[in-house]
Structure 1
Amino acid sequence: MDLPSRLEALITPSLEAMGYELVRVQMQGNQRPTLQVMADRVDGAAMSIEDCTEISRALSALLDVEDPIAGAYTLEVSSPGLDRPLTRPKDFVRWAGHEVKLETAQPIEGRKRFRGRLDGLDAEGRVVLTLDEGGAVALPLAEVRGAKLVLTDDLIRAAIKDQEGLRTDD
């Protein structure tokens, strides 16, 4: 099992117990590597600095005990933000209708980079896009190397609407 997969398996149960969901775990850099952990609140509320601090403290203790990373590294905990990476099948369903940039591991239809409106997943589990230049494409999810939402006015409006829907007037 590769390091990111081992870290994901180690981190996920603690995050879930705290009411969070892992979005992505990634190691970056060589000299002084950074372990980047992106998380969301399970209740759908916006992530706060306090949430990131709580996660950082818990994961620091867990990683100190388990010691899965050789040598020194920096732990960075963050929310995915509005222009979030899409990493799980449910992300491609949840954010359908919004603009995305996507890159595949291997060329598909002669290219690796795609941009357009996300139409979700089809019956075979392929990511369906309506391309900016016209036409549509269905990309195997297993071939998607990276995907993220593009910050648009529509995305901002949707985020505001989501947050307003979570507020309660007591």
Structure 2
Amino acid sequence: MSDHAALVELIEPEVKALGFDLVRVKLFGSGEDRTLQVMAERPDTRQLVIEDCAAISRRLSDVLDEADPIEEAYRLEVSSPGIDRPLTRLHDFADWAGHEVRITVDEAVEGRKTLKGILGGLDGEAILLSDAKTGDVRIAFENINGAKLVLTDALIRATMPLSTTGADEIETEE
């Protein structure tokens, strides 16, 4: 059952039961280097701390061990989507409007399969983008192969941690 939709159906309810939103499930690699990557976030902060990752990992490990959906051996990796996060859900494109994004598509848009520009939000199920080379374009959500925010100063400011407690308490060994 290692098809993507089945993995999401297995994982998403467990992540939600812990109070998190599922951002992405991705199975990649081969042989002994196979990884099941699960990205999640807190709905209120869009962040995940290490304790959150540990809680999700423990919960998913039990469920995945019982269901055994992946035939080969794999490593489970639970993480936050990070600053230059992937945009995987339709509402992500509205939420991150105004930020720079790189989008790859299955079928060319304006003769291009990779577009980069400022995200303009949504028009129904179409993503609006001010592409640096082709101008304003509409991209059907189902045509998107991958989308990721581009790391910029504006994005860093928009994603500053809510708490920096302990950030200046780094201990080093001499």
TM-score, reference length from structure 1:
0.90
Which residue pairs with 1:103 in the alignment? 104
Tell me which residue corresponds to 2:168.
none
Q: Secondary structure at the match of 2:159?
A: helix
How far 1:81 sits from its partner (Å)?
A: 0.2
Which region of structure 1 is more displaced relative to structure 2, 33-42 or 43-52?
A: 43-52
CA RMSD of aligned residues (A): 1.6
CA distance, structure 2, for counterparts of residue 62 and residue 119 of structure 1: 39
Give the drift of 1:45: 5.2
- 1:84 matched to 2:85: yes
Deviations 1:97-118 (Å, cap 9, x if unpaired)?
A: 0000000011122110000000
Is 1:163 the counterpart of 2:162 in the alignment? Answer: yes
Residues 16, 94 of structure 1: alpha-carbon distance in 2 compared, 3 angstrom cutoff:
same
| Secondary structure, counterpart of 1:163 in structure 2 | coil
Is the contact between residue 25 and residue 37 of structure 2 (CA under 8 Å) also seen in structure 1?
yes
Tell me whether 126-135 or 148-157 shows the greater mean CA deviation: 126-135
Determine whether 1:72 maps to 2:73: yes
Aligned-pair distance for 1:90? 0.6
User: What is the total number of aligned residue pairs between the two structures?
Assistant: 162
Moved >4 Å (runs of 4+): none
Q: In structure 1, what residue type is equivalent to 2:154? A: D
Q: Given that residues 45 and 163 in structure 1 are in contact (C-alpha distance below 8 angstroms), is that contact kept between their aligned partners in structure 2?
A: no
**Is residue 18 of structure 2 the alignment partner of residue 21 of structure 1?**
no
Deviates more, 1:80-89 or 1:151-160: 151-160
Matches of 2:5 and 2:46, distance apart in 1: 27
Shift of 1:91: 0.2
Instruction: Give 2:20's aligned amino acid.
Output: Y
Unaligned runs of 5+ in 2: 164-174
* Deviation per residue, 1:67-95 (Å, 9 max, x gap): 11102111011100010000001100000
Unmatched segments (≥5 aa) in structure 1? 165-170
TM-score (norm 2): 0.88
Provide, for residues 23-69 of structure 1, a one-character-per-residue CA deviation record: whole Å limited to 9, x for no partner.
00011111121101000112325211111111111100110011111
- Which has the larger helix fraction? 1
Rounded Cα–Cα distance in structure 2 between residues aligned with 1:42 and 1:65: 28
Instruction: Report the secondary structure of 2:127's partner residue.
Output: strand
